[in-house]
Amino acid sequence: MSYVVIEGLHKTYGTNAVLANIDMTIEEGEFVTLLGPSGCGKSTILRIIAGLTDPTSGVVKIEGKNMSNIQPKNREVGMVFQSYALFPNMTVKENVAFGLKMKKMNESEIEQKVKDALAIVHLSDKEHAFPHELSGGQQQRVALARALIVRPKVLLLDEPLSALDAQIRKKLQADLRSIQTELGMTMVLVTHDQEEAMAVSDKIFVMNKGIIAQEGTPTEIYTKPESEFVANFIGHYNVFTREELEQMIGKKLSGEREKFAIRPEAIHLKASEGDYRFKGTAKEAMMSGNVIRTVFQVGDRSFAVEQLHERQASLVLGNAYECYVSQEDVVALL
């Protein structure tokens, strides 16, 4: 049986349904991400798992135990918040030690565990600082140490990196993943950043309007989106109707699906055997570091191609090019 099981979860506020029939399973030691746009219900699931919000109906089980009537403090679930939620009147050390003090652990043991927890998050030299004396990244590390120290069965991370700048966010993503692997802890991350989800997760649940749009490993989600929403949300896919794509490639497509998606980086300028071929005129290009995204025009339809940023520009704007895409990279959508 799975470590965390969510069955038939519904949540409504008045007549507004926030979650509709959510089923979810999470294995022990797994790093799972709930990914979706703002307002899709992902944080509500987290709060329901923590016991901070009651579901309208449905069940949450952790290690086979129904959590329905169990108070948050007794669920053995930790949580890290986007706004850190550090106790402003306590030092870093006191913040981290809080959970152990509530468990009435003896002082020497608390001292040692706090030292270990602060070492894990690289903040050993800040134990006497107050939260307002720390940077955002440091505050979030303290919040992480405070949640980890009580060794929760499940650690919930509610957009913990959203308020941080890009560089610190990348560093903390890597730290988060390595801490999770080292401790073998089950973690559930909520984010709207698909790159972050891809970087840290074993499994991703993509959510939209209160339902799970797709679940799978990062590779499955990225390479085989099942719907137009997932294709657009996860990877800036080019989405075509059957008619548009058949017109472009000059061939009939098999199957009965009406929409198809192609990853921008799957379109290339060198032919391989069996590739679909189509022509387009390079109209505009956008450089984002290591990738150049070029928009091509075919009739009244446009599509994007992404290439690695190489020293010699390979495309000249205004020129027409033969583009190729492998048949496997044309994903039929539901």
Partner 1 sequence: MKKKGFVDLFFVFLLLYLFLPILATMFYAFATNWNKTVLPEGLTFKWIATLFQDSRFIEAFGRSVLLSGGAVLLALLFIVPAIFVIVLYFPKYEKWIQAAVVMVYAFPGVILAVGLIRAYAHIGVPMIAAVLGAYVISILPYIYQGTRNSLRNVNARQLLDAAELSGASKAQAFSKVLLPAVYPGLFAGALLSFSVLFGEFVLINLVVGSRFETVQIYLMKKLSTSGHIASSVVFVYLVLMGILTFIISMLTKRSKGAQKV
DSSP state letters, 79-100: EE-TT----TTS-HHHHHHHHH
Site map (CB under 8 A) of partner 1, residues 147-176, x = contact: x--x--------------------------
Residue reference for tokens 């033969």: 322
Backbone phi, then psi, for 85, in 5-degree steps? 55, 40
Q: How far is CA 113 from CA 26, 93, 96, 99, in A?
A: 28, 10, 9, 11
Backbone phi, then psi, for 292, in 5-degree steps? -110, 125
Q: How far is the CB of 28 from partner 1 (least distance, A)?
A: 20
Q: How far is the CB of 196 from partner 1 (least distance, A)?
A: 21
Residue 236 Rama label (left phi>0; alpha psi -120 to 50; beta): left
Is residue 138 a contact residue for partner 1 (CB under 8 A)? no
Residue (101 or 257) nearer to partner 1, CB: 101
Q: Which stretch binds partner 1 (CB under 8 A): 140-148, 246-254, 276-284, 304-312?
A: 140-148
Which residue of 13, 16, 64, 132 would you call a contact of partner 1, by CB under 8 A?
132
Q: How far is the CB of 93 from partner 1 (least distance, A)?
A: 14
How far is Cα 267 from Cα 285, in angstroms, rounded to an integer? 15
Which residue of 93, 146, 169, 192 would you call a contact of partner 1, by CB under 8 A?
146
Half-sphere exposure of 126 (CA within 13 A, CB side): 24
Q: Which stretch binds partner 1 (CB under 8 A): 84-92, 173-181, 189-197, 277-285?
A: 84-92
**Residues at the site binding partner 1, with contacts judged by CB under 8 A:** 50, 52, 71-73, 75, 77-79, 81, 83-89, 98-99, 102-103, 130-132, 139, 143, 146-147, 150
